[in-house]
Amino acid sequence: MSIGGGIHGFVFLAYGATAVLVALNQRWGFGPAAVAIVSAVIPYATIPTEIWLQRSGRLRGAWRLDDSGDPRDRRPIDRVLRFFLRRPWALGLALVAVVAVVFVVLLIVGPPGGKG
Protein backbone atom coordinates (compact mmCIF):
# COMPACT_ATOMS: atom_id res chain seq x y z
CA MET A 1 0.00 0.00 0.00
CA SER A 2 1.31 3.43 -0.88
CA ILE A 3 1.53 6.28 1.60
CA GLY A 4 -1.15 8.12 -0.38
CA GLY A 5 -3.48 5.12 -0.08
CA GLY A 6 -2.94 4.97 3.66
CA ILE A 7 -3.64 8.67 4.09
CA HIS A 8 -6.73 8.38 1.90
CA GLY A 9 -8.00 5.46 3.96
CA PHE A 10 -7.41 7.24 7.25
CA VAL A 11 -9.22 10.39 6.04
CA PHE A 12 -12.09 8.24 4.73
CA LEU A 13 -12.49 6.60 8.14
CA ALA A 14 -12.24 9.97 9.90
CA TYR A 15 -15.01 11.35 7.66
CA GLY A 16 -17.17 8.34 8.48
CA ALA A 17 -16.58 8.83 12.21
CA THR A 18 -17.46 12.52 11.90
CA ALA A 19 -20.63 11.69 9.96
CA VAL A 20 -21.70 9.29 12.72
CA LEU A 21 -20.96 11.91 15.40
CA VAL A 22 -23.00 14.59 13.60
CA ALA A 23 -25.83 12.11 12.89
CA LEU A 24 -26.05 11.24 16.59
CA ASN A 25 -25.96 14.89 17.66
CA GLN A 26 -28.56 15.98 15.12
CA ARG A 27 -30.70 12.86 15.70
CA TRP A 28 -30.80 11.85 12.07
CA GLY A 29 -32.62 8.69 11.15
CA PHE A 30 -30.87 5.75 9.51
CA GLY A 31 -31.42 7.09 5.96
CA PRO A 32 -29.58 10.43 6.15
CA ALA A 33 -26.82 8.89 8.28
CA ALA A 34 -26.32 6.06 5.77
CA VAL A 35 -26.30 8.52 2.85
CA ALA A 36 -23.67 10.65 4.60
CA ILE A 37 -21.43 7.66 5.28
CA VAL A 38 -21.90 5.97 1.90
CA SER A 39 -21.28 9.26 0.07
CA ALA A 40 -17.66 9.04 1.19
CA VAL A 41 -17.21 5.92 -0.96
CA ILE A 42 -18.05 7.69 -4.25
CA PRO A 43 -15.49 10.34 -5.24
CA TYR A 44 -16.80 13.87 -4.62
CA ALA A 45 -20.27 12.60 -3.59
CA THR A 46 -19.80 14.23 -0.20
CA ILE A 47 -20.22 17.65 -1.83
CA PRO A 48 -23.83 17.23 -3.04
CA THR A 49 -24.60 15.21 0.08
CA GLU A 50 -23.49 18.01 2.38
CA ILE A 51 -25.37 20.57 0.27
CA TRP A 52 -28.51 18.42 0.63
CA LEU A 53 -27.99 18.02 4.38
CA GLN A 54 -27.53 21.78 4.76
CA ARG A 55 -30.56 22.71 2.63
CA SER A 56 -32.80 20.18 4.35
CA GLY A 57 -31.90 21.67 7.75
CA ARG A 58 -30.14 18.56 9.04
CA LEU A 59 -26.99 20.50 9.90
CA ARG A 60 -28.81 23.24 11.83
CA GLY A 61 -28.44 23.58 15.54
CA ALA A 62 -25.68 23.61 18.06
CA TRP A 63 -23.92 20.69 19.65
CA ARG A 64 -26.12 19.18 22.36
CA LEU A 65 -23.96 19.79 25.41
CA ASP A 66 -26.76 19.73 27.98
CA ASP A 67 -29.85 17.65 28.70
CA SER A 68 -32.75 19.47 27.03
CA GLY A 69 -35.46 17.59 28.89
CA ASP A 70 -36.26 15.59 25.78
CA PRO A 71 -36.80 11.90 26.73
CA ARG A 72 -34.23 10.92 24.09
CA ASP A 73 -31.58 12.80 26.08
CA ARG A 74 -31.78 10.08 28.72
CA ARG A 75 -30.54 7.36 26.36
CA PRO A 76 -27.06 6.06 27.23
CA ILE A 77 -25.67 7.03 23.82
CA ASP A 78 -26.83 10.63 24.32
CA ARG A 79 -25.23 10.79 27.77
CA VAL A 80 -21.94 9.50 26.34
CA LEU A 81 -22.21 11.98 23.45
CA ARG A 82 -22.71 14.90 25.86
CA PHE A 83 -19.80 13.71 28.01
CA PHE A 84 -17.43 13.78 25.04
CA LEU A 85 -18.84 16.99 23.52
CA ARG A 86 -18.13 18.79 26.79
CA ARG A 87 -14.54 17.50 26.62
CA PRO A 88 -13.31 18.13 23.06
CA TRP A 89 -9.80 16.87 23.87
CA ALA A 90 -11.24 13.52 25.01
CA LEU A 91 -13.53 13.36 21.97
CA GLY A 92 -10.57 14.01 19.67
CA LEU A 93 -8.47 11.34 21.35
CA ALA A 94 -11.35 8.84 21.28
CA LEU A 95 -12.07 9.47 17.58
CA VAL A 96 -8.40 9.17 16.63
CA ALA A 97 -8.13 5.95 18.66
CA VAL A 98 -11.24 4.39 17.11
CA VAL A 99 -10.21 5.38 13.58
CA ALA A 100 -6.67 4.08 14.19
CA VAL A 101 -7.93 0.72 15.48
CA VAL A 102 -10.28 0.29 12.52
CA PHE A 103 -7.45 1.35 10.17
CA VAL A 104 -5.05 -1.24 11.63
CA VAL A 105 -7.68 -3.99 11.50
CA LEU A 106 -8.37 -3.19 7.85
CA LEU A 107 -4.63 -3.24 7.10
CA ILE A 108 -4.36 -6.67 8.69
CA VAL A 109 -7.40 -8.01 6.84
CA GLY A 110 -6.05 -6.69 3.54
CA PRO A 111 -7.79 -5.45 0.43
CA PRO A 112 -10.98 -7.06 -0.89
CA GLY A 113 -10.06 -9.77 -3.36
CA GLY A 114 -6.67 -10.44 -1.81
CA LYS A 115 -3.23 -8.95 -2.26
CA GLY A 116 -2.84 -10.66 -5.63
Q: pLDDT for 12-55, tens place per residue?
A: 888 999 999 999 999 999 999 999 999 988 889 999 999 999 99
Taking the CA atoms of the chain, what radius of gyration do you get in angstroms? 16
- Among 16, 57, 23, smallest CA distance to 38 is for 16
Residue 114: pLDDT above 70? no
| Residue ranges of domains in the chain | 3-106
CA-to-CA distance for 28 and 22, rounded, in angstroms? 8
CA-to-CA distance for 83 and 20, rounded, in angstroms? 16
What is the pLDDT at residue 9? 81
What is the pLDDT at residue 1? 59
* Contact indicator for 103, 13 with CB cutoff of 8 Å: yes
